[in-house]
Amino acid sequence: MSVLVYTESEQGTFKKVALEVASYAKAVANQMGTTVTAVAINADDTSILGTYGVDKVLKVNDSKLDKFNANAYASIMAQAAQKEDSQVVIVSSSADSKYLAPLLAVNLNAGYASNVVEVPSSTAPFTVKRTAFTNKAFNITTINTDVKLVALSKNAFGLVENSAAAAAEDFSPSIPEFGVNVESVDKVTGKVTIADAEIVVSGGRGLKGPENWGMVEELADVLGAATACSKPVSDLGWRPHSEHVGQTGKPVAANLYIAIGISGAIQHLAGINASKVKVVINTDPEAPFFKAADYGIVGDAFEVVPKLIEKLKTFKAQQ
C-alpha cells in the first residue's frame, strides 16, 4: 500500500523532476505512515532515488520503451499501482507526465489533481492545494476515489534528502499496443530549457528586434538560465512559440524570473505568477510589471543588461 511515484529518466539518468516527485512522495508517505515505491523505466543506476526517500524501485527494462509512449507508460504505472496496492500515485508536471496522467487516471479509476503545490493538508479526505486560473488563484481540492493521482508542480516542493534503501526489484509488466509511434525527436541540446530551468531570463517588445537577443542569451548563459519571451515577441516571429510565456503559452514556476522590456500584461503575469522571485527591467516606471515584481530597475535595457552581465560574471568568478 505504498505511495507510488513515476520517476522520469532520459538516456538512463533521472531528471530533476524525478527526484522532486520522490521527495514529495516521501513527505506524503510519512503523513500516511507508509513507504515509497518508484517505477523506473530503462534507468541504469537507481540508487540515487534512495537519497530522496524511495524505499523500493520497480525497474522496468525493455528497449521497446526507449522512447516515451503515454499509453504504454500509463499501463505500466497502473500495473505497478495494482501490484503495490497503492492508494496514492504521484507524477511530475513535465509534458510527458501530464500526457500519461489522465490515461492512468482512467486506467486506475483514480481522481486526478494536477498542478499541486503543497503536501496534502489532510489525507482523509485527501485534500491538496493546486493552482487554477493560470496561477491567478489556488483551488483546494479533495480527491474522493480510493486511488488518488497527483501531478506535482515544478519547483513547488524542491529536493529534500531523506535517505532510504531504494531496494531494486525487476518488474516485467505487459506492454500494450502503442497506438502512437514516435517518428522523430527534435530537441534543443546544450541549452537550459524552460521546463528544467530554475532561472528564466525573458525578453519583450522593449528589446526592439530579434537582433538584440544576444544580450538576453548572454545573461542567461551567465546565470545557467533558460530564455523566454512575451506573447507579442513570439507573434512577431522574433522568438519561437516554444519560448512564449503566459496564459496561452508556457507557465513558468522558476526560482528567479527576470523580465526585460516586458510591460506585464495580465496574461503574461498569470503565466509567471508561480515564480518565486521576479525582477523587472523596463524604461516605463508605470509598467504593470513593477507592481508584480520583487526587484525593479527603471532604465534602458540596452544600458542595464550589459552592466548586469559584467557584474554577474565578476560575482560568479568570486564564488
Partner 1 sequence: MKILVCISHVPDTTSKINFTEGDTKFDTNGVQFVINPNDEFGLTRAMWFKEKQGASVDVVNVGGPETEPTLRKALAIGADSAIRVNTEATDGFVVAKQLAKVVQDGGYDLVIAGRESIDYNGGMVPGMLAGLTNANFVNTCIGLEVDGTTVTATREIDGGKETVSTSFPLVIGGQKGLVEESDLRIPNMRGIMMARKKPLTVLDPVEATAETAAVKFEKPAPKGAVTLIDADNVDELVNLLHNEAKVI
Q: Where in 36-95 is the site for partner 1 (CB under 8 A)?
A: 70-71, 94-95
Supply the DSSP string of 272-308, one letter for each residue: HTT-SEEEEEES-TT-THHHH-SEEEES-HHHHHHHH
d(CA 81, CA 106): 13
d(CA 279, CA 297): 8
User: Does 252 sit near partner 1 (CB under 8 A)?
Assistant: no
Candidate segments 45-53, 155-163, 193-201, 202-210, binder of partner 1 by CB under 8 A: 193-201
Q: Which of 83, 11, 3, 74 is nearest to 42 (CA)?
A: 11
Q: How long, in residues, is the chain?
A: 319
- Which of 58, 199 has the CB closer to partner 1? 199
Amino acid, single-letter form, for residue 242: S
- Smallest distance from partner 1 to CB 22, Å: 18
- Which of 166, 262 has the CB closer to partner 1? 262
- Smallest distance from partner 1 to CB 141, Å: 5
Half-sphere exposure of 317 (CA within 13 A, CB side): 6
Which positions from 99 through 138 interact with partner 1, judged by CB under 8 A?
A: 99-103, 105-107, 110-115, 127, 129, 131-138
Task: Give Cβ neighbours of residue 299 (< 8 Å, ≥ 6 apart).
Answer: 281, 283
d(CA 117, CA 139): 10
- Smallest distance from partner 1 to CB 158, Å: 13
- Which of 23, 135 has the CB closer to partner 1? 135
Please select the residue that binds partner 1; options are 180, 208, 209, 284, rule is CB under 8 A: 180
- Which of 113, 156 has the CB closer to partner 1? 113
Please select the residue that binds partner 1; options are 32, 160, 175, 298, rule is CB under 8 A: 298
- Smallest distance from partner 1 to CB 189, Å: 8
